[in-house]
Amino acid sequence: MTHPAPTSPVPEWRFWLILAFVLAGLLWLLGDVVTPFFLATLIAYLLDPVVRKLNGWGVPRGLCAAIAILLFIALVTTLVLFIGPIVRTQATDLVRTLPAYIDTLQNDLWPRVSSFLQQIPAFSGVKLQAHLTQYTGDAVNLAGILLGRVVTGSGALLHVLMYFILTPVITFYLLRDWPIMVTHFETLLPARHAPAIRQELQTIDQMIAGFVRGQATVSLCLAAFYAATLYLTGLKYGMIIGLATGFLSFIPIVGTVTGAIVSLTLAAIQFHQASHIALVGAVFVAAQVLDGYFLTPNLVGTRVGLHPVWIIFAVIAGGTLFGFFGIIFAVPVAGTLAILLRVALREYRASRYYQPPVP
């Protein structure tokens, strides 16, 4: 009696590749639906040390999760109540006076800068005023388009309300049941690859936890520093510009350069003394020294392991595809993909496809 020939199993690399494409396709299709879950995961990473500390003192983990979330909500609410009115007033005033600032920039400040640059041979004969008018209009249009995409990608008011309602609930269950979820997940790992997968997942977990907690602390410190110092210099809208610059500091170069250009331009329009403009510039120099030599090395380090160019690309891609929350999740997701890519490259170099044939 003949038996049918056994079918050859699907190669492992094809299985993992198909699984990766399926997961990526689900994320793409679900879009805003998974955003509260990602946001809850980030908040859970921030609050997990508090929960573990309380749980170590004998407090039930469910109560620990509830206490941590309530403390987080109280902190955010306090910041919004204290800083919100000032930010709202400055933002409203900035939007109202922005056309006047642009007019002053084009008709008063820029002619003086242009006349100075015309004395430099490299800029001689260049129609700088015409270029400024064109680029200013293009920048305003581009900013409007990007803002529209961010708002659209974040969802309408109903979606925002859904985030505020669902995110704390999801965060609570993640904090409470995380050890149980990890135990159940480990039972699904293929036995032959379980140790390697567990090791890589621990690496990803350490990277995300370190970056989320470290970079959040760095951004908050820089936002407080920029807001306080720019406000003390007497710069109009210094607080809102400082907060925005600090929160955008996780994007290498972009946040700092944007904040410096806006601040120095407003200082040149508002103040007519070089000492005041230099004082505003000194704020950004001091912030870079504080960030480069103390905050980032001690709080973030090299946990993500991504080149700044890739971080900028990830932020732009995340904002384009998923709006505001895509910007927030861009760096942790990019770091995770980088770790998975390094694993894939290591497996590829050890495979028969890369190794020279055995004679």
Q: What pLDDT, in 10s, does the model give residues 30-40?
A: 666 777 787 88
| Cα torsion 34, 13, 307, 142: sign | negative
Instruction: State pLDDT tens for residues 244-275.
Output: 898 888 776 778 888 888 888 888 888 777 88
pLDDT attached to residue 334: 81
DSSP string spanning 278-302?
HHHHHHHHHHHHHIIIIIHHHHTTT
In this predicted structure, what is the pLDDT of residue 9? Answer: 46
The CA dihedral of 77, 79, 83, 84, to the nearest 10 degrees, is -20
Q: What is the pLDDT of residue 84?
A: 76
How far is Cα 290 from Cα 282, in angstroms, rounded to an integer?
12
pLDDT, tens digit (0-9, with 9 covering 90-100), for 298-357: 776 655 666 777 777 887 887 777 666 677 777 778 878 888 788 778 877 777 766 776
**Band of pLDDT at residue 283, cut at 50, 70 and 90:** very high
Phi, psi values for residue 351, rounded to 5°? -90, 170
Rg, C-alpha atoms of the chain: 26
Q: Do 238 and 263 touch, CB atoms closer than 8 A?
A: yes
Contact call for residues 118 and 124 (beta carbons, < 8 A):
yes
Which range is least confidently modeled, 13-17, 47-51, 311-315? Answer: 13-17
pLDDT, position 282:
92
Of 296, 320, 328, 148, the residue nearest 221 (C-alpha) = 296
- Domain segments of the chain as ranges: 194-349
Average pLDDT over every residue of 148-175: 68
CA 226 and chain centroid, separation: 18
Amino acid at 149: R
